[in-house]
Amino acid sequence: MAERKRDGGHWVYGVHAVRALLERRPEGVVAAALLRGSRASTLPDIERKLASCAIPVERVDRVALDRLTSGGTHQGVAVRTRGLGEIGIRELESLALERGKALRLLVLDQVQDPRNLGACLRTADAAGVDAVVVPRSRSAKLTPAAVKAAAGAAETVRLARVSNLASTLHWLKEAGVWVVGADADTPRSLHDAQLDAPIAVVVGGEGHGLRRLTRELCDEIVSIPLRGTVASLNVSVAAAILLFELDRQIRSRSPARRPA
């Protein structure tokens, strides 16, 4: 799957990606482009779904579809979505106040590889995160490579791009959000920390980790115990471990459901 942003939305292409989007969020699809004369056995169900949702379909030749998808592997189908769009600091503040004590954020401190950004969006979706926050400077954009790695999460998770990450973290702290940073060099294990919402989990960029000021603004710094010979993990893998440990701890403190 890949995606190309256009007119405030995104072009999602590839049979599996389009099929998943039509199943999960058909109301977000505003138009479709199908390869003219296509007889692919995987397309009839997609065509029926497009018709049942009254989504306009345009038949185009291969050159036009290749251009539309920037040369991606479209498999004869692409759809345009409304797109969630990136949000700024004001929208992020409103979201934080709206979610209150349930807020969960993932903060990426200058993650520059689009594929890592996409993988982090995918992880954030799976872990129930409300938004992924990135600084405007020296951070990956939501490119087709990022959206491909996100595997649909670019349509479900808000991406907040802020001008000043330090100021944003300071505001979140004042609003009662616990800011937890990840650093491989700290002796405090993730599993010894008491994690709970509202929370912002902060991971550093490739190679350099958390910047000094970002680290200083964290209320707590934790590390992921590594048992083998590797010194660090990929940023998206680290984010996944942190977010699912957070989710595990929150669930463990929730009252057990009584059987019906």
- Provide the 8-state DSSP code for 206: T
Q: How far is CA 118 from the centre of its chain?
A: 6
Q: 107 and 35 in one domain?
A: no
pLDDT tens readout for residues 192-248? 999 999 999 999 988 788 999 999 999 999 999 988 777 778 899 999 999 999 999
Q: Write the DSSP assignment of 98-111 as a string of letters.
A: HHGGG-EEEEEES-
Q: 239 and 112 in one domain?
A: yes
Rounded-to-integer distance, Cα 209 and Cα 207, Å: 6
**Residue after which a domain boundary falls, among 20, 47, 81:** 81
**Residue after which a domain boundary falls, among 81, 103, 137:** 81
3-class DSSP state of 53:
coil
Give the pLDDT confidence score for residue 84 in this predicted structure.
Answer: 62
Is residue 259 included in any domain, yes or no? no
C-beta neighbour count of 247 within 10 angstroms: 17
Question: 114-126 vs 235-253: helix axis angle to the nearest 10?
Answer: 10
C-beta neighbour count of 224 within 10 angstroms: 17
What average pLDDT does range 250-257 have in this prediction? Answer: 73
Rounded-to-integer distance, Cα 166 and Cα 103, Å: 19
**Residue after which a domain boundary falls, among 52, 81, 110:** 81
Number of structural domains the chain divides into:
2
Length of the chain: 260
pTM of structure: 0.75
Q: Which residue has the higher pLDDT, 115 or 229?
A: 115
**Predicted confidence (pLDDT) at residue 109 exceeds the cutoff of 60:** yes
Regarding beta strands 57-60 and 199-204, do their DSSP bridges make them parallel or antiparallel, or are they unpaired? unpaired
Q: Which domain holds residue 12?
A: 2-81
